[in-house]
Each structure stands twice: as C-alpha cells, then as structure tokens.
Amino acid sequence: MTIELNDYLFVSGLLFAIGFFGVLLRRNTLVIYMCLELMLNAVNLALVAFSRFHNSMDGNLFVFFIISVAAAEVAVGLAIIVALYRKRQTVMVEELAELRN
C-alpha cells in the first residue's frame, strides 16, 4: 500500500490531540506552552500534506507564516512567563490563580 493523505492527517490530528492533552495535563506553564507549539506543528503537517496532495502552493506558503508567527508568539510568551516568575517565583498554573472570583 502507499501512504495516503489520510495517514498524514491522522498523524497531524494525533499530534494535535496530544498537544491538547498536554495542555490539559501539565501544570508547568512552560510545558503547557511547548504543547501549544506542538499543536501548531500538527497544523503545519496537515497543511503541507494537503498542499502536496492537492497540488497547491498556498498551504506551504501559509506554513511559512505560521512558523514565523509561532516564533514571535514564543518570544513574547516566554517573556511574560519570565516576568511573572520574577513576581511569583513559580511557573505552576494553580499557583498563578490570584485573579478569580
């Protein structure tokens, strides 16, 4: 058998699910953030697969944007986490729940 588009999609979907799972599971904000990156990657994979199989360049170009955006996001996000750590000396979500009702 040959590899189908669906196989790639499955992998990407699996990655997405795992990423989501990680976000749900972990309490370390850094790890949560990593998992989010993972989800973005899953999207990338799907995109590339689609554009390859459907013979359209737009997907690949989109990936380019996604990567750059992700990079920027990471930079800002980490900056926030660091700044917060300076205040609270922790990166654990349940210890970062001062704002509540």
Distance (Å) of CA 77 to CA 9, 32, 33, 45: 28, 11, 8, 23
Question: How far apart are CB 5 and other proteins at their closest, in Å?
Answer: 6
Residue at 15: amino acid letter:
L
Positions in 58-87 near other proteins (CB under 8 A): 58-87
Positions in 11-50 near other proteins (CB under 8 A): 11, 13-50
Question: How far apart are CB 95 and other proteins at their closest, in Å?
Answer: 9
DSSP 8-state assignment for residue 101: -
Cα gap 47→35, rounded to integer Å? 19
Question: How far apart are CB 11 and other proteins at their closest, in Å?
Answer: 5
Cα gap 45→42, rounded to integer Å? 5
